[in-house]
Amino acid sequence: MNRALVALIIICITAAAPPAFAGKREKLEQRVDETLARFYEQSYTGQELAKKAKGILVFPKIYKAGIAFGGEHGKGALRVGGETVAYYSTTSGSFGFQLGAQKRSQILLFMTDEALESFRQSDGWEIGVDGSVAVVDVGTGADLDTNSIKDPIVGFVFGNEGLMFNISLEGTKISRLDDD
């Protein structure tokens, strides 16, 4: 797909997202806790990798919808050493044959200090451009050997609800939310 078209879609989705984040942190923190608990119950592999991770970025709810043009958006928290250090939004746009809506959860595990620092130092981080992510579907992730996963960033997608069952993360942009 044309990168300029994807960039335009991302800009439109970001502009349409509500700007106010202050006052919503408690609810987001609660959703992050619930999502991690559900993730650990569903994936032994994920739980073991999370213990080794230098940082965990959790997006409890990512909403995706599309009719020819599509977009997705969600908010999450980055935890380092079990504590939230920053809040982020994820946004993506797409064009092509698509129709439907979906909600899912997504977790990114930063397995090395270098991968985590690169992410934290970036001003708008794009999966596939700024960092490559090995994507694991939780439904199949239970059989993975945690010692064989050597990727610096591992992404888990789970809790899919709806009619769009695409787990590709390419072209997804993750941006830090302002603290106000």
Going from N- to C-terminal start, the domains of the chain cover: 3-15+23-176
pTM above 0.85, yes or no: no
In the predicted model, is pLDDT for residue 173 greater than 80?
yes
Position 129 confidence tier, pLDDT thresholds 50, 70, 90: very low
In the predicted model, is pLDDT for residue 92 greater than 80?
yes
Residue 28 is predicted with a pLDDT of 95
Residue 148 is predicted with a pLDDT of 55
Residue 138 is predicted with a pLDDT of 63
Contact, 14 vs 90, CB < 8 A?
Answer: no
pLDDT tens digit sequence for 61-73: 999 887 777 788 9
C-alpha–C-alpha distance, residues 80 and 85, integer Å: 7
Cα dihedral sign for 123, 156, 16, 128? positive
